[in-house]
């Protein structure tokens, strides 16, 4: 057995149609922080992770073969109650498409709500059952 192990996700690249619209959605509604890095690229920070943003009309890495807006399904663990999140998102015009429902995540049992971002990526906000 090797001592090598994957310990956590550092970042994920999210392909989007409109970087500004995506940044507005994730910063204003979900509280992420915008960052500029590299050659003017944009990212969204939260906790110790980040989402690097890739505009569908700009080749960032020629090795990425199928960068497609709306193909992601992301789950974020959140603080506060899901009822507070539902109210906050609904007040800002975001339609909850499912939830609260019970799910099993990487850390165990949780409650989740689901909705779409501007590119129709499926977003799940979850609280752990403790």
Active site residues: 124
Q: What would the 3-class secondary structure string for 25-63 be? A: HHHHHHCCEEEEECCCEEEEEECCEEEEEEECCCCCCCC
Instruction: Report in angstroms the alpha-carbon separations of 21 from 9, 18, 97, 120.
Output: 25, 5, 21, 12
The residues, any chain, with a CB within 8 Å of residue 79's CB and separated by 6 or more, are 127
Angle at 29 between CA 41 and CA 14, to 5 degrees: 35
């Amino acid at each position: 057995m090797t001592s090598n192990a994957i310990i956590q996700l550092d970042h994920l690249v999210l392909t989007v149609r409109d970087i500004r619209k995506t940044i507005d959605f994730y910063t204003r509604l979900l509280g992420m922080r915008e960052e500029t890095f590299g050659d003017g690229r944009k990212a969204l920070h939260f906790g110790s992770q980040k989402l690097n943003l890739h505009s569908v009309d700009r080749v960032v890495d020629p090795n990425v073969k199928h960068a497609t807006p709306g193909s992601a399904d992301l789950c974020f663990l959140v603080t506060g109650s899901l009822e507070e999140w539902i109210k906050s998102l609904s007040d800002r015009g975001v339609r909850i498409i499912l939830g609260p429902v019970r799910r099993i995540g990487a850390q165990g049992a949780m409650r989740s709500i689901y909705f779409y971002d501007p590119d129709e990526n499926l977003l799940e906000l979850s609280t752990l059952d403790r």
